[in-house]
A = this chain, B = another copy of it.
Amino acid sequence: MTTTTSNRYALAIDLGGTKVEAALVDPNGAIFPPSRFRAPTGRASSSDQLAESVRTVIRKSTAALPDDAELLGAGIGSAGPISLSRGEVSPLNLPAWRDFGLRAVVEEELPGLSVSLRGDGNCIALAEHWIGAAQGVKFFMGMVVSTGVGGGLILDDRLIDGPTGNGGHFGHVEVGGEDTVCGCGGTGCVEAVASGPKTVEWAQAHGWTGTTGEELAAHYADGNEIAVQAVRRSARAVGHAIASATALVDLELVAIGGGFSHVSADYIALVAEAITDRAAFPFITKVRVVASALSHDGPLIGAAALVHHPERLSEAARA
Contact = CB atoms under 8 A, between A and B. Distances in A.
A153 B160 CA distance: 12
Nearest to A279: B186
Contacts of A178: 176
Nearest to A240: B174
A129 to B, nearest CB: 14
B248 A279 contact: no
Contacts of A166: 247, 250, 281, 283
Interface in A92-141: 138-139
Interface in A182-200: 184-188
Given A172-B244, A177-B176, A249-B160, A316 B138 contact: yes
A160 B279 contact: no
A172 B286 contact: no
Interface string A223-258: 000000000000000001101110111111000000
A297 to B, nearest CB: 25
Given A156-B314, A170-B247, A176-B188, 18 more contacts: A155-B314, A157-B316, A158-B158, A162-B249, A163-B252, A164-B282, A164-B286, A166-B250, A166-B281, A169-B248, A170-B248, A172-B243, A173-B244, A174-B174, A176-B178, A176-B179, A185-B280, A186-B280
25 contacts: A81-B282, A138-B163, A139-B163, A156-B160, A157-B316, A158-B158, A162-B283, A163-B250, A163-B252, A164-B282, A164-B283, A166-B247, A166-B281, A168-B249, A171-B247, A174-B240, A174-B278, A175-B176, A176-B178, A176-B187, A184-B280, A185-B279, A186-B279, A248-B249, A249-B249
Contacts of A247: 166, 169-173
Interface of A: 81, 138-139, 153, 155-158, 160-179, 184-188, 240-241, 243-245, 247-252, 278-284, 286, 314-316
